[in-house]
Amino acid sequence: MGESSLSMEIDPPFKENQATPDDWRKALAKVVPAVVVLRTTAGRAFDTESAGSSYATGFVVDKARGIILTNRHVVKPGPVVAEAMFVNREEIPVYPIYRDPVHDFGFFRYDPAAIQFLSYEEIPLAPDAACVGLEIRVVDLYIGWYPCSYGSGCSTL
Q: Give the angle subtended at the CA of 49 by the CAs of 46 and 51, to the nearest 5°.
A: 75
Mean pLDDT of the chain: 80
Q: Quick check: is 3 in a domain?
A: no
* 147 beta partners: 141
pLDDT at 106 over 80: yes
Tens-place pLDDT, residues 57-82: 999 999 999 999 999 999 988 889 99
Q: Quick check: is 133 in a domain?
A: yes
User: Tell me, what CATH number does 97's domain have?
Assistant: 2.40.10.10
Dihedral-angle region of residue 133 (phi above 0 means left; psi in -120 to 50 means alpha; beta otherwise): left
Whole domain around residue 119: which residue ranges? Answer: 17-153
pTM: 0.76
The answer for residues whose C-beta is within 8 angstroms of residue 23's C-beta and 6 or more apart is none
Count of domains observed in the chain: 1
Q: Quick check: is 10 in a domain?
A: no
Mean pLDDT, residues 21-32:
83
From CA 77, how far away is CA 97, in angstroms rounded? 11
Q: Quick check: is 22 in a domain?
A: yes
